[in-house]
Amino acid sequence: MNVMAKAKKKISSAFIYFFGSFGGILFGYDIGVMTGALPFLQADWHLENAASLVGWITSAVMFGAIFGGALAGQLSDKFGRRKMILMSAIVFMIFSVLSGVSPEIGEASAYYLIIVRMFLGLAVGAASALVPAYMSEMAPAKARGRLSGLNQTMIVSGMLLSYVVDFLLKDLPGEWAWRLMLGLAAVPALILFLGVLRLPESPRFLLRKGDEAQARKVLSYIRKNPAEIDQELASIKETAKEERQANQKTSWSTLFSSKYRYLVIAGVGVAAFQQFQGANAIFYYIPLIVQKATGQAASSNLMWPIVQGIILVIGSLVYMWIADKFNRRTLLMVGGAVMGLSFILPAVINWMMPNMNPMTIVVFLCIYVAFYSFTWAPLTWVLVGEIFPLAIRGRASGLASSFNWIGSWLVGLIFPIMTASMPQEAVFAIFGIICILGVIFVKTCVPETRGHTLEEIEEQGTNHGRVKATNPEN
């Protein structure tokens, strides 16, 4: 035990935060990898005219993630954040490999891959829930905002990594290209597993299990002085007590009581709009979008996902720089308005100028991605983390996450079906209208959370009519 304690003592806080957030790489890699793999898979399995199957293969991960996040949240309360992240990495490794070795058995091949990717989605959903929870419980309060930005940067870095891997493998024979693209997802999962083996359990979980001595030891790895440790232990105990009391008094019906309904609708609505605005349609299908716009083979357009990935990474860094300089609502409304126009304008231009350069739509999509990357992408989860009162936080956050994954799944599923039955510009115009509706929703239904205490936010929720009357900007 002494040897293990000394080994853990040498772990730096940077190591803990890096591997604590590394699960975002897995999340991002699997979001992005199908972008490059899909054109080769379509050609290999002759799925060019099977829009529904293509949609299901792509969106199966998100369908599994709907359940993975909720399941992991409950199991992590019983077994710990660290153990569940390790289990997620193992599941991710297994089903990434099984995706890469999909058998050639006719149409049944597609159904095999759909089922495997659903199980892979369980790990993706678990990572999306566990990583922010672990990071928030390990990070000092003053660093939580920046570290939420770090999680977003890890996610988009994982997407960029998958795009680069897809590009590097594109010249392989088609049947090998997509298999390696999907199978190599096991590599970051292995890295995560090996890194998390050295990570400690979160002090909050340890205290809930009554192990105060170990919780103190873990905090000593990442806090500067004994006084800070004592203060945080006391704070964790008090919060845990309040949460136990809150959970005893609340049920699912409490979320929609008059006291909390306004804040629940605001948080869940923002989480749902983030996905229904169509961002994942670009991330999953950009090579096929370019193919349909230009007539060039999708497999030769794998540079475009890299461009999108670079924009996403830069945008996540921009967000970390501006996060505390502008109101949440302002950023969401400006971002949503530009995103909506980026989708609607190509349809308008194409209607006015039928001979429009087909690459115009791709340029507008890049503008969309740029504004999404530093507004709706990170701010959705910042706002969800701030807006729910303690008494309903667990249930409301879970509901918001579920609606977000449902939106992601539906967009991935129906986009190829929509583009098979109507012009691409019309499909994006529909998403553009949803973006504008999102702006209206934020303007009318979402309170400002920046600079407000949790108590003040709850006051806005329970008395929002009076607050709006006396303070219209909120």
pLDDT of the residue at 390: 66
Q: State the Cα–Cα distance between residues 375 and 371, nearest whole angstrom.
A: 6
Check pLDDT > 60 for residue 160: yes
Check pLDDT > 80 for residue 112: yes
Within this chain, do residues 100 and 190 fall inside the same structural domain, yes or no?
Answer: yes
74-82: average pLDDT: 82
Within this chain, do residues 462 and 336 fall inside the same structural domain, yes or no?
Answer: yes
Write the CA distances from 78 to 204, 323, 410, integer angstroms: 12, 34, 31
Residue 74 lies in a domain: yes
- Closest C-alpha to 206, from 230, 240, 231, 247: 240
Token digits of residue 401? 């996450």
Q: How many domains does the chain have?
A: 2
**Residue 203 · residue 219 · CB < 8 Å:** yes
pLDDT of the residue at 159: 92
Domain boundary among 199, 234, 267: 199
Residue 392 lies in a domain: yes
Within this chain, do residues 328 and 262 fall inside the same structural domain, yes or no?
Answer: yes
Q: Which pLDDT tens digit goes with each residue over 245-268?
A: 666 666 777 777 777 888 889 999
Token digits of residue 440? 């209206």
pLDDT band at 144 (very low <50, low <70, confident <90, very high): low
Within this chain, do residues 104 and 184 fall inside the same structural domain, yes or no?
Answer: yes
Token digits of residue 8? 């853990």
**Residue 265 · residue 391 · CB < 8 Å:** no
Within this chain, do residues 28 and 118 fall inside the same structural domain, yes or no?
Answer: yes
The angle subtended at Cα 203 by Cα 6 and Cα 128, nearest 5°, is 110
Domain boundary among 199, 215, 240: 199
Q: Which pLDDT tens digit goes with each residue over 353-386?
A: 877 777 888 889 999 999 999 999 988 888 887 7
Q: State the Cα–Cα distance between residues 154 and 195, nearest whole angstrom.
A: 15
Residue 441 lies in a domain: yes
Residue 40 lies in a domain: yes
pLDDT of the residue at 338: 97
> Which is more confidently placed, 222 or 175?
175
Residue 259 lies in a domain: yes
DSSP state string for 223-287: -SSHHHHHHHHHHHHHHHHHHHHHHHH--GGGGGSTTTHHHHHHHHHHHHHHHHTSHHHHHHHHH
Domain interval for residue 167: 13-199
Q: What is the mean pLDDT of the chain?
A: 84
Check pLDDT > 60 for residue 2: no
**Secondary structure string (H, E, C) spanning 283-313:** HHHHHHHHHHHHCCCHHHCCHHHHHHHHHHH
Within this chain, do residues 178 and 280 fall inside the same structural domain, yes or no?
Answer: no
**Residue 85 · residue 134 · CB < 8 Å:** yes
Residue 233 lies in a domain: no
Within this chain, do residues 183 and 262 fall inside the same structural domain, yes or no?
Answer: no
Residue 354 lies in a domain: yes
132-157: average pLDDT: 75
Residue 470 lies in a domain: yes
Within this chain, do residues 279 and 185 fall inside the same structural domain, yes or no?
Answer: no
Within this chain, do residues 340 and 473 fall inside the same structural domain, yes or no?
Answer: yes
The angle subtended at Cα 259 by Cα 253 and Cα 262, nearest 5°, is 90
312 HSE (CA, 13 A, CB side): 30
Check pLDDT > 50 for residue 4: no
Within this chain, do residues 300 and 173 fall inside the same structural domain, yes or no?
Answer: no
pTM value > 0.85: no
H helix intervals, 101-201 = 108-138, 144-169, 174-183, 186-196
The angle subtended at Cα 43 by Cα 41 and Cα 46, nearest 5°, is 100
217-222: average pLDDT: 82
Residue 118 identity (one-letter amino acid)? M
> Which is more confidently placed, 356 or 286?
286
Q: Which pLDDT tens digit goes with each residue over 187-212?
A: 999 999 999 998 888 888 888 788 88
Q: How many residues does the chain have?
A: 474
Token digits of residue 420? 């098979």
Q: Which residues contact 77 (CB under 8 A, 6 or more apart)?
A: 205, 208
Within this chain, do residues 461 and 375 fall inside the same structural domain, yes or no?
Answer: yes
Write the CA distances from 374 to 2, 315, 440, integer angstroms: 45, 5, 19
Range among 181-185, 280-284, 361-365, 444-448 rated most confident: 181-185
322-338: average pLDDT: 89
Instruction: Read off the CATH number of the domain in which 159 is found.
Output: 1.20.1250.20
Out of 218-222, 317-321, 366-370, pick the least confident.
218-222
Token digits of residue 234? 């006391």
pLDDT band at 310 (very low <50, low <70, confident <90, very high): very high
Within this chain, do residues 322 and 429 fall inside the same structural domain, yes or no?
Answer: yes
